[in-house]
Chains A and B, each alone.
Chain A
Amino acid sequence: MLDPIILAQILWTGIATSAPYVLLTAGFALTLKVTSLWNFAQAGLMAIAFYAMFFCLNVLAWPVFAAIGAAVVLTGAAALAVEVWGLQVLRQRRSGNLTFFIFTLILSEFVIYVITLLFGTEPQTLFKSILSPVAIIGNIAVSDWDKLAVATAAAGLAALWLFMTRTREGQFLVAVADNAKLAELYGISAQRAYRVVAVIAALFIVGAMYLVGSHGGIVPNTPMELVLTAVIATLLGGIGRVFAAAAAAVVLALIQSFSILLIASRWQNLLLYGFLFAAILLFPRGVRVPRLRLAGARR
């Protein structure tokens, strides 16, 4: 098992597998950073995104890009609706954190039940075939899905970084995340920032669900499991640190993948819950990697 090719294969597949989780975590962590909400409604949005694409592709027989476009519109609209008619109302009422948590969780369950009634509970894939063409590169099997997944996650994170650092809208998000009331004194609309974040998260969710749904079967309840991974990665990365959370998603996937070298595969999923416990108990502010101090650096 310690063959370098096997290790390299596990590394590559682990990175590729982490791609959808990276996107979901980035959307979840960004929402948490800007709105200070653990927005479990994103599980419902994941279900909407997947089944919108599934319906457009398999029932309406639309081309892929049209199906993705429809999912973006529908998921974005749903995210805005949740923000405007749900979260905003709760903010105006000065509801407590627990109310927000329960509201978003119940909303997801509601969406999942509706989708269950509409589409049933049989595992569905976006495309009839889940087989992706494979190329052998340096003795490592690299599928087209792997390449698409890694490229989508990398492009998504790069676009987010550029948006946050190079645009005024992105800097407004950072300002609202730092101190919403102070930002409003400077004329920045917190409400607008929340809506922008909702739309960005929706975009990430659609990208992730396309990847998940073209790789394996999804049932309406799958998003609840996906959001759990995003929560764990967000906790490990540290609240407010979007890119660290995304990196934590990669690390989690790699640990799960490499764990096969030490434990039986049936225990792999249990690791996630182990990390959740550890993150909550031991790293409530996230895992901080100590910065290297170079000789002669200013103190």
Chain B
Amino acid sequence: MPLTGAQAGYGNDFVTGMRMAVKDVNDAGGIAGRPVELVTLDTQAEPQLGINAVNRLIGVEKMPMVLVAWSSVVKAVAPICNREKVLEINTGANSPEIATLGDYVYTAFPLAEVDITKLAQYVYQTLGKRRAAVLYINNDTGIDAAKLYRDTFTKAGGQVVAFEAYDPKATEFTGMLLKTRAANPDVVHLHGLTADTPQVIAQMRQLGLTQQITTYSAGYNPKLIEQCGPAAEGLIVTSLAPGVQENANVAPFLERWKKEVGRVPNGLPYVQYQYDMIPLAKALYDHVDKKGQPATGDTLRDALVEIRTFDLPMTGKMVIDGHRVNKPVYLLTVKKGAFVPLATLS
């Protein structure tokens, strides 16, 4: 996980969510009486550091399973996991390519084809938008998802009038936004990361682009509202995990988080998935224990496929469907400075 670097705000909260779950699992007796230990290494969301971290986890720590997030890192470490026969589980990246990375790479997090497809269809069918602009960060997170949005929106009958990528290090977006303004879209889909998304939205509003903005779950972040202020009003974001209203476990979890961390988590839905990775791992280990098998990449992978349906405390029912998972998409919008539910797309 990125514990330092521009993505550390999310990465550290991911690990905090997992630690809470580890404590809960251990308080309940661990896995067959053995305590769970979480070994975390910093990737800075950089592929090369991810490779170093996974090499260490496999070579030194002898881990049969690794939990990885951020698309570029998930992709970069996949060949190692396939070669070493170690189960890699994606816990928060959404590049559609993750489903095709190999026999030992699985996802517990819905890929972009789940929320982006449904979002693009919702924008066309329910919001009645016909001309979309797609602005995306030029990395693994943005490229695939932006293409997916463009293809889905076009297939639905809409027209993508601007399709612009920006450099991950960019801080000034005026040119791209003016190009977008000239294309005269009636909706703008933004697919960036937590660091750049608020800046793009703020500059967009300052340049007089008043169009509806949509983004994915990276935009479901209270800091974004703080940074963008009134510019965030009306923003539509996706969430792939049930909220307080849909899942009774979420409110106590949030309260506990506020008590222990002193604030709300960055990207609550993501953090819910991270929490659930530990009960999921426990289920896999319990399964191989029951069968009297050693915990290896092969046996854990077989367990994942055999169990297939997991009932997880924070994100609910999860069905492993090949190398994908499907989940309902919860849409939220910013109203009076807060995220409020807008629709649920099953």
Residues of chain A contacted by B229 (CB below 8 angstroms): 129, 131
The count of residues in chain B whose C-beta lies closer than 8 Å to any C-beta of chain A is: 37
Known contacts A121-B8, A216-B199, A217-B195; decide if A10 and B226 are in contact (CB<8 Å): no
Residues of chain B contacted by A3 (CB below 8 angstroms): 182
Q: Quick check: B206 and A268 within 8 Å, CB to CB?
A: no
The interface stretch among A69-77, A173-181, A258-266 is A258-266
Q: Quick check: B165 and A264 within 8 Å, CB to CB?
A: yes
Residues of chain A contacted by B227 (CB below 8 angstroms): 125, 128-131
A284 at the interface (CB under 8 A from B): no
Give the distance in Å from the alpha carbon of A116 to the alpha carbon of B44 in the complex: 13
Distance between A123 CB and nearest chain B CB, rounded to angstroms: 4
Query: CB within 8 Å of A: which of B161-184?
Result: 164-167, 169-176, 178-179, 181-182
Q: Quick check: A264 and B164 within 8 Å, CB to CB?
A: yes
Query: CB within 8 Å of B: which of A241-292?
Result: 256-261, 264-270
Interface string of B173-203 (1 = CB under 8 A from A): 1111011011000000000000100110010
Q: Quick check: A132 and B206 within 8 Å, CB to CB?
A: yes
Q: How many contacts between A and B, using CB within 8 angstroms? A: 110
B6 at the interface (CB under 8 A from A): yes
B9 contact from A116, A122, A258, A270, Cβ within 8 A: A122
Give the distance in Å from the alpha carbon of A131 to the alpha carbon of B207 in the complex: 11
Q: Is the interface of B mostly helix, strand, loop or mixed?
A: helix
Q: Quick check: B170 and A131 within 8 Å, CB to CB?
A: no
Interface string of B229-240 (1 = CB under 8 A from A): 111000000000
Residues of chain B contacted by A143 (CB below 8 angstroms): 206
Known contacts A219-B5, A269-B169; decide if A10 and B175 are in contact (CB<8 Å): yes
Q: Quick check: B175 and A260 within 8 Å, CB to CB?
A: yes
Residues of chain B contacted by A6 (CB below 8 angstroms): 178, 181-182
B205 at the interface (CB under 8 A from A): yes
Residues of chain B contacted by A216 (CB below 8 angstroms): 171, 199
Residues of chain B contacted by A130 (CB below 8 angstroms): 198-199, 202, 227-228
Known contacts A6-B182, A130-B202; decide if A268 and B167 are in contact (CB<8 Å): yes
B154 at the interface (CB under 8 A from A): no
Q: Quick check: B179 and A1 within 8 Å, CB to CB?
A: yes
Q: Quick check: A13 and B174 within 8 Å, CB to CB?
A: yes
Give the distance in Å from the alpha carbon of A176 to the alpha carbon of B199 in the complex: 43
Q: Quick check: B174 and A121 within 8 Å, CB to CB?
A: no
Q: Quick check: A10 and B166 within 8 Å, CB to CB?
A: no
Q: Quick check: A266 and B6 within 8 Å, CB to CB?
A: no
Give the distance in Å from the alpha carbon of A13 to the alpha carbon of B204 in the complex: 13
B262 at the interface (CB under 8 A from A): no
Residues of chain A contacted by B171 (CB below 8 angstroms): 212, 215-217
Give the distance in Å from the alpha carbon of A116 to the alpha carbon of B42 in the complex: 14
Query: Nearest residue in B to A269 (C-beta to C-beta)?
Result: B167
**Which of A10, A120, A143, A266 has most chain B Cβ within 10 Å?**
A266
Distance between B1 CB and nearest chain A CB, rounded to angstroms: 13
Distance between A216 CB and nearest chain B CB, rounded to angstroms: 5
Query: Nearest residue in B to A125 (C-beta to C-beta)?
Result: B227
Q: Quick check: A131 and B205 within 8 Å, CB to CB?
A: yes
B4 contact from A14, A116, A212, Cβ within 8 A: A116
Give the distance in Å from the alpha carbon of A159 to the alpha carbon of B228 in the complex: 34
Residues of chain B contacted by A141 (CB below 8 angstroms): 206-208
Residues of chain A contacted by B9 (CB below 8 angstroms): 122-123
Distance between B223 CB and nearest chain A CB, rounded to angstroms: 9
Residues of chain A contacted by B170 (CB below 8 angstroms): 265, 268-269
Distance between B271 CB and nearest chain A CB, rounded to angstroms: 15
B6 contact from A219, A258, A261, A264, Cβ within 8 A: A219
A9 at the interface (CB under 8 A from B): yes
A39 at the interface (CB under 8 A from B): no
A25 at the interface (CB under 8 A from B): no
Residues of chain B contacted by A128 (CB below 8 angstroms): 226-227
Residues of chain A contacted by B178 (CB below 8 angstroms): 1, 6, 9-10, 260
Distance between A78 CB and nearest chain B CB, rounded to angstroms: 23
Residues of chain B contacted by A1 (CB below 8 angstroms): 178-179, 182
Residues of chain B contacted by A10 (CB below 8 angstroms): 174-175, 178
Give the distance in Å from the alpha carbon of A136 to the alpha carbon of B210 in the complex: 14
Residues of chain B contacted by A120 (CB below 8 angstroms): 4, 8
Give the distance in Å from the alpha carbon of A226 to the alpha carbon of B252 in the complex: 44
Give the distance in Å from the alpha carbon of A42 to the alpha carbon of B29 in the complex: 55
Residues of chain A contacted by B8 (CB below 8 angstroms): 120-122
18 A–B contacts, CB within 8 A, in A order = A10-B175, A10-B178, A13-B172, A120-B8, A123-B9, A129-B229, A130-B198, A131-B202, A212-B171, A216-B199, A217-B171, A219-B6, A265-B164, A265-B165, A265-B167, A265-B179, A266-B166, A268-B166
Q: Which residues of A approach B to under 8 Å, CB–CB?
A: 1, 3, 6, 9-10, 13-14, 17, 116, 120-123, 125, 128-132, 134, 136, 141, 143, 212, 215-217, 219, 225, 256-261, 264-270
Task: List the 7 shortest-distance A-B pairs measured between CB atoms, nearest first.
Answer: A260-B175, A265-B176, A266-B165, A122-B9, A266-B138, A13-B174, A269-B167
Given A6-B178, A217-B171, A219-B5, 16 other A-B contacts at CB below 8 A? Answer: A1-B178, A3-B182, A6-B182, A9-B174, A13-B174, A121-B5, A121-B8, A128-B226, A141-B206, A217-B195, A217-B199, A225-B169, A261-B175, A265-B167, A265-B179, A266-B166
